[in-house]
Structure 1
Amino acid sequence: MTSTSPVRFAAVGLDHAHIHGQIAGLIKAGAEFVAMATDDPSSGVAHQVRERYPDVPYVDDGHALIARDDLDLIVTAAIPDQRGPIAVAALRSGKDVVADKPGCVTHDQLEEIEKAVAESGRFWSVTFSERFEVASAVKAGHLVREGRIGTVVQTIGLGPHRIGDRGHLGGNAGRPDWFYEKERYGGILADIASHQIDQFLWYTDSRTAEVVTSSVGNFANPDKPGLQDFGDLLLRSDHAQGYIRVDWYTPAGLGTWGDGRLMILGTEGYIELRKYVDIAGRDGGNHLFVVDGEKTEYIDCSDVELTYYPDLVRDVRDRTTTAAPQEHTFETMRLALTAQQNAAVRGAAQ
């Protein structure tokens, strides 16, 4: 790749709708979408990707695609238990990797990825879209770094989801079988709560943390014991605390898939994000409220620039990790996997 040639990428694994944002973000940032492959070309998401990008070749053999020497980057939203092996293969083939969250589902997979990163000199980035692709979350980062609310001492992250959300289903009638198999999706804390763990580390400026306690449960879907429909955990670093709650209980009456919220408590004020909906309030998403020593302010963040994908493209060119520091990504997944592994199991959950 020369300094003037575009970053060339392929998508390997088209099982989750997050691939749409990943592909679109990279293309908007100037990267070239060269090819795609997936183990299940019949999935609703795979059909959508092929319809949206009819001129991009579909390749039957994902392993052969990863091995091609005309690619710089592999992006994947495969079934979660396959994301780790795809990443390792791509790294060892000399490609950088952008994986949907969770980037992997076991500590062994994470260890293999860390080894492959160290040996290849390439990077592994996990798309924590609830921060990277949410304008209000980007704005909150700016306010925190500016010192608007003093020193951040706690975050409260809420990540409710809806099982029947059409956008995540890729047009299918229901969730695929792997959605109900814990070993395949990794468990609710490894999966969803990795978003909120990423945010805790980022907004509190914590390099590492410990999982104080964690739990998972199945309280509304006893016929699907592999589905963990509730989870929570407590985090603690040397200067901050965090509480996280995730679930699959969003009611049909809400106009979006989940009322994602983040509260950031500082020593001189606080910030609250209503990322996707202001219930019975303002239209749309990206609502930010900040209270400090001088005033209470509402900020519409809809025009805030998202930088993750442009930063990724520059990282490929410049051999940097500005989009997400590599150690931050490793630590986020380590904490998510630890919380999942050590969680108390309640209700009908396996």
Structure 2
Amino acid sequence: MHENNRHYYPRKREKVKIDGFFSFSVIGLEHDHVYVMIEELINAGANFHSVYDTGISNIEKIKKLYPSVLVCQHSEEIYNFSETSLIIGATIPKKRFNIGIKALESGKHFLSPKPGFVHLKEIEKAESLSKNKGLNWGIFYNERLYSESAIFAKDLLEQDAIGDVLQMIGTGPHRINLNSRPDWFFDKQEFGGIICDIGVHQIEQFLYYTNENSAQLMKSTVANYTLKNHPNFEDFGDAQFITETGRSLYFRVDWLTPAGLSTWGDGRIVLLGTRGYIELRKYIDVARNKVTDNVYLVNEYGETYFNVAGKIGLNFFAEFINDCLHKTDFSFNQTRTFEAARLAILAQQNSLKIS
């Protein structure tokens, strides 16, 4: 490490404490990210009050993990619980919007895994209702919010390590695990399509790192190269955006991770600045080591490698709870949350199908 890069050394954040009693409930257990969300909310100090799901196996699993949780027979029960301040909606993606609307109309905050929306008209209504009610509508963009390397990259940018960000290139490969996927996974009417589903991560990160609130779609493509027996599925997508200030994004997402990779996907981000660049190898440094959260910095001082796994800390859920308690949005930017979803759907709808 060059002497002048030493002050960039990762520093762990103090654990955020929540400011009061906070209780949450869950509607839907179809998306596996919900288990991370539940556990992290509990770790932050929240009370897991109640759950509703139509799947017997899902309920059996959640009862085994959390024996004290109240299992409801109808979703309406959850909207009426005065104890519940937050509802997590982790159903099939196309059903999340209606859960969120009912949650806010019931005076409760809402949080879902990505994608939060599958239709443009949903976003406008959700944004208006969130503003009018003074309640948070959160989307767990885990590829940034749950990644220490992604958090450290922002630290580097704020310390002017590479100058102004000009471009981001992102790759979001995922392993498909065919045998474990439900039927709805293969029908984009249910989840919005590959750009809507996993491309939204790339867009959200781009807006965050560039401090932009919007961008213009230049082009987008989708393809189904390998699963011809599922004609409504896409295993590849890419898109290009540019902002009014000339900052650009290109990303590629796919379901083509080979069996030989030792993790679910070799997700990477490259941030090009006026005086250097940052590369994030989030989940593996392929063929070198299997640790997560690898960060490479190249600038006028030289080449620097950081491994920040366990060295930064993840405070999103505690910060989100405090936002709900105080009706703020410090843990995430509400405008960008909606805009990332909007841009992803635009790219999906305007994509050229190439296979």
The TM-score with structure 1 as length reference comes to 0.93
> Shift in Å at residue 6 of structure 1?
1.6
CA deviations 1:230-278 (Å, max 9, x no partner) are 0000011122100010000000000011000000111011000111011
RMSD between aligned alpha carbons? 1.4
Alignment check: 8 A CA contact 2:19 2:322 kept: no
Counterpart residue number, 1:111: 124
Q: 1:272 aligns with which of 274, 279, 282?
A: 279
Counterpart residue number, 2:26: 11
Counterpart residue number, 1:325: 333
Counterpart residue number, 1:258: 265
Q: 1:305 aligns with which of 285, 304, 313?
A: 313
1:230 equivalent to 2:230? Answer no
Counterpart residue number, 2:346: 338
CA deviations 1:132-159 (Å, max 9, x no partner) are 0011101111111111110001001100
Q: How much identity, in percent, do the aligned residues show?
A: 38
Q: 1:213 aligns with which of 200, 203, 219?
A: 219
- Distance of aligned partners of 1:4 and 1:210 in 2 relative to their CA distance in 1, 3 Å threshold: closer
Q: 2:74 aligns with which of 55, 61, 78?
A: 61
> Shift in Å at residue 4 of structure 1?
6.0
Give the alignment of 1:1-350 within 5 angstroms: 5-43=20-58, 46-164=59-177, 173-239=179-245, 240-302=247-309, 303-347=311-355
- Distance of aligned partners of 1:174 and 1:71 in 2 relative to their CA distance in 1, 3 Å threshold: same
Give the unaligned 5+ runs of structure 2.
Answer: 1-17
> Shift in Å at residue 207 of structure 1?
1.3
- Between the aligned partners of 2:274 and 2:61, the Cα distance in structure 1 is 46
CA deviations 1:32-54 (Å, max 9, x no partner) are 111111233435xx543332112
- Distance of aligned partners of 1:69 and 1:209 in 2 relative to their CA distance in 1, 3 Å threshold: same
- Between the aligned partners of 2:312 and 2:274, the Cα distance in structure 1 is 25
- Distance of aligned partners of 1:156 and 1:4 in 2 relative to their CA distance in 1, 3 Å threshold: closer
Moved more, 156-165 or 255-264: 156-165
SS of equivalent residue, structure 1 residue 224: coil
Aligned residue identity for 1:39: T
The TM-score with structure 2 as length reference comes to 0.92
CA deviations 1:149-192 (Å, max 9, x no partner) are 10001001100001118xxxxxxx42000001111011000100
- Between the aligned partners of 1:103 and 1:268, the Cα distance in structure 2 is 36
Alignment check: 8 A CA contact 1:67 1:90 kept: no
Give the unaligned 5+ runs of structure 1.
Answer: 166-172
- Between the aligned partners of 2:60 and 2:267, the Cα distance in structure 1 is 28
SS of equivalent residue, structure 1 residue 284: coil
SS of equivalent residue, structure 2 residue 28: strand
Counterpart residue number, 2:7: none
CA deviations 1:179-231 (Å, max 9, x no partner) are 01111011000100010000010111111111111111101110111111100
Q: Report how many residues are paired.
A: 336
Counterpart residue number, 1:170: none
